[in-house]
């Protein structure tokens, strides 16, 4: 599967065919009022708007192992995905940059493909102050990966594209898909799965878990599945929720982990399907079961609307994965 992941920004049609399972729809419900206002302002800006001559905005797709990171967003005195990526860019171009990710991930959460953007001005090293033509995306990818490999090697740029100056990775994100890996059974977890999945020693009732998922499909108020202290009411629409031998697919990070916690309880028999409906309708953060650990959560891909009106997404490997999961159930 690794080879297929290298084509993460291939453009495909956003329309759904009858042979492809519906994905999790992305809404603006996870954004604050200020962020939604900024998104509207971004959308109102003309596509032709540009920065200073010589500055190029790049769209990046990155993959990372989240185990040794304190999350994706920049934090002082902490190792973060954005911090490591900005450091690599600074070594490449010789000046600091700011990187903006489409999706924030918590400490320990992994990404098969997260999408970011960065502005880069190419300055001549032989003639300081002279602005040169922007680097080709392939050059950016190769150079940044060179420096990333010198810093633990747990982040990799898997694709780079040039985009207009008003393109914003977060506000152009239309859909996010997460996967959660939960392994059950009495056998100890493989060494190679350490920090890559949640091991549950009990055998899980997958049929009961799938029935519980049916309660969650549709447009609901998921207040019972938001983080404590979160002020945003998560009205979300889940258009597909698949439990299989590999994992499940759902919308946003913290919500996913809380949903998995409830589904695991159904799988072990601690909760019944009616309990899931009761928790959903309670609309309180104290109703859900304990949150599943971060180690099993993967940001699968982000669909981003580009100026060409095409969808930037991970390769069709994920469609195949979802299709296989659906067939296994």
Six token digits for residue 80: 């973060």
- pLDDT value for 236: 61
Percent of the chain with pLDDT over 90: 41
The residues assigned a catalytic role are: 106
CATH architecture of 174-296: 2-Layer Sandwich (3.30)
Q: Look up the pTM and report it.
A: 0.75
DSSP letter at 193 equals: G
Q: Regarding predicted confidence, which is higher, 42 or 133?
A: 133
| The pLDDT value given to residue 155 | 97
* Contact of 81 with 71, CB cutoff 8 Å: yes
179 pLDDT higher than 60? yes
Q: Check pLDDT > 80 for residue 202.
A: yes
Q: Measuring CA to CA, which residue among 261, 260, 214 is closest to residue 239?
A: 214
Helix axes 273-282, 253-268, angle to 10 degrees: 150
For the cut 80, the answer to whether the pLDDT of residue 204 exceeds it is yes
Residue ranges of domains in the chain: 4-14+22-173, 174-296
Q: What is the per-residue pLDDT across 97-126, written as a single tens digit (0 to 9) for each?
A: 999 999 889 999 999 999 999 999 998 888
pLDDT of residue 51: 56
Q: How wide is the angle at C-alpha 297 spanned by C-alphas 292 and 299, nearest 5°?
A: 145
Lowest-confidence pick of 5-19, 73-87, 173-187, 291-305: 5-19
Q: Categorise residue 235: left if φ over 0, alpha if ψ from -120 to 50, beta otherwise.
A: beta
Task: Return the pLDDT at 230.
Answer: 54
pLDDT digits (tens, 9 = 90+) for 297-317: 999 888 876 554 344 444 444
Say if 4-14+22-173 and 174-296 have the same CATH topology: yes
The pLDDT score that the predictor gives to residue 117 is 95
Q: Which CATH code for domain 4-14+22-173?
A: 3.30.70.580
Which residue would you say has higher pLDDT here, 234 or 154? 154
**For residue range 259-286, what is the model confidence (pLDDT) as tens digits?**
889 999 999 999 999 999 998 888 776 6
Higher pLDDT, 217 or 21: 217
């Amino acid at each position: 599967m690794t080879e297929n992941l290298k084509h993460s920004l291939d453009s495909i049609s956003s329309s759904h065919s009858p042979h492809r399972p519906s994905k999790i729809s992305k809404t603006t419900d996870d954004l604050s009022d200020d962020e939604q206002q900024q998104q509207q302002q971004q959308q109102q800006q003309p596509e032709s708007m540009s920065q200073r001559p010589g500055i190029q905005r790049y769209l990046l797709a990155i993959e990372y192992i989240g185990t040794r990171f304190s999350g994706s967003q920049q934090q002082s005195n902490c190792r973060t995905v954005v911090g490591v990526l900005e450091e690599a860019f600074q070594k490449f171009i010789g000046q600091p940059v700011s990187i903006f990710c489409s999706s924030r991930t918590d400490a320990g959460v992994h990404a098969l493909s997260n999408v970011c953007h960065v502005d880069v001005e190419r300055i001549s090293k032989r003639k300081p102050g002279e602005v040169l033509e922007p680097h080709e995306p392939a050059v950016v990818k190769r150079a940044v990966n060179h420096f990333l490999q010198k810093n633990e090697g747990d982040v990799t740029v898997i694709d780079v594209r040039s985009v207009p100056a008003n393109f914003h990775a977060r506000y152009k994100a239309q859909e996010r898909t997460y996967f959660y890996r939960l392994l059950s059974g009495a056998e100890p977890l493989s060494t190679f799965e350490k920090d890559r999945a949640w091991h549950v020693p009990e055998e899980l009732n997958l049929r009961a878990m799938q029935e519980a998922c049916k309660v969650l499909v549709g447009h609901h108020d998921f207040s019972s599945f938001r983080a404590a202290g979160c002020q945003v009411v998560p009205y979300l629409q889940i258009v597909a929720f698949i439990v299989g031998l590999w994992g499940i697919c759902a919308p946003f990070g913290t919500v996913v982990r809380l949903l998995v916690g409830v589904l695991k309880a159904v799988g072990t028999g601690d909760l019944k399907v009616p309990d899931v409906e009761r928790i959903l309708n309670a609309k309180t953060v104290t109703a859900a079961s304990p949150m599943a650990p971060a180690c099993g959560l993967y940001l699968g891909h982000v669909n981003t609307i580009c100026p060409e009106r095409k969808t930037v997404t991970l390769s069709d490997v994920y469609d195949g994965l979802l299709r296989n999961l659906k067939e296994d159930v």
